[in-house]
Amino acid sequence: MLSRERFTAIVVTLLVWSLAGALFGALFVALIQVLEAVGLSGWRPLVLAAMAAAMTTAAFYSAMPVAAVGATAGVVASIGYLIVSGPLIELPVISTAAAVTGAVAGSFYAWMIRRSARALAETLTGMLAGLGAGLALALLLSLYPAPLGSFVLAAGVVALVGTLFQLNEHWIVQACHGWLPDGLAAPLVAGLIAAVVAAGVWVVGGTSTAALDLETRSAIDQVLREVPAGLLGGLLGGSVTGLILELLGYRLEEHEPD
């Protein structure tokens, strides 16, 4: 029979992994659509989307304060851009402006509050996990070309990324200790998060902007159609993977957030 502490640990694990999986799944399928809309094709959208989504989720999962700074900076920069630009919303410009603002905010955070390279190490772990999962998924799709829905794609890649992250986090963070610059960690991570937030603002803002051409509006509509399936698939993949890892002995409570 499960003890009260063990039951609580399992419930918390399910909650955390479900939320992280939902965030990853929604970002993953949205980024695939955005990357395809800007001209990428083949395996590249899968791999790049998996890497970006994994880095973002790892930052929120492992370095919440820095991620919160980046998200806030992204919102502020996006609002400022919308005020200045009016109805004309360009993805590269709004993302770059947000990334710069996030980097500045991250530098201020590192100077005023805490200088630690752990946030960057965790984000790099997410990047490597996303790279491995994206390449594996691209290989699988090349061998079995039958189309897979966003729900299945998100559930599968979340399970693979989550497993790779959990299994490799400790040794990668330890390997990065001592050579990653403490002062650059927060700016880089905050800049990444801010850019992702700005891309989300571009998607949402584009639905109500008449100045966009038909092709861009069609791409944005496609992103919005795929996000719910990705979110649900990621939620399922995250919860199942988290439960399995918890039962195998990989304790969430052993994780030390930044």
* 1, pLDDT greater than 80: no
Residue 131's pLDDT band (cuts 50, 70, 90): very high
Residue 220's pLDDT band (cuts 50, 70, 90): low
d(CA 46, CA 134): 6
Q: What is the pLDDT of residue 217?
A: 62
> What is the pTM for the complete model shown?
0.80
* 151, pLDDT greater than 70: yes
SS3 sequence of the chain: CCCHHHHHHHHHHHHHHHHHHHHHHHHHHHHHHHHHHCCCCCCHHHHHHHHHHHHHHHHHHHCHHHHHHHHHHHHHHHHHHHHHHCCCCCHHHHHHHHHHHHHHHHHHHHHHCCCCCHHHHHHHHHHHHHHHHHHHHHHHHHHCCCCCCHHHHHHHHHHHHHHHHHHHHHHHHHHHCCCCCHHHHHHHHHHHHHHHHHHHHHHHHHCCCCCCCHHHHHHHHHHHHHHHHHHHHHHHHHHHHHHHHHHCCCCHHHCCCC
What average pLDDT does this structure show over 55-80? 85
* Positive or negative torsion for Cα 210, 223, 119, 138: negative
Domain limits for position 173:
4-254
How many domains does the chain divide into?
1
CB 103 within 8 A of CB 190: yes
**Which is more confident, 218 or 243?**
243
Residue 103's pLDDT band (cuts 50, 70, 90): very high
Q: What is the pLDDT of residue 178?
A: 66
Two tokens at 257? 């957030």
The neighbour count for residue 79, using CB atoms within 10 Å, is: 11
- Please, what is the end-to-end C-alpha distance for the chain in angstroms? 34
Could you give the C-alpha distances from 185 to 89, 136, 174, 231, 243, in angstroms and in order?
29, 28, 15, 28, 31
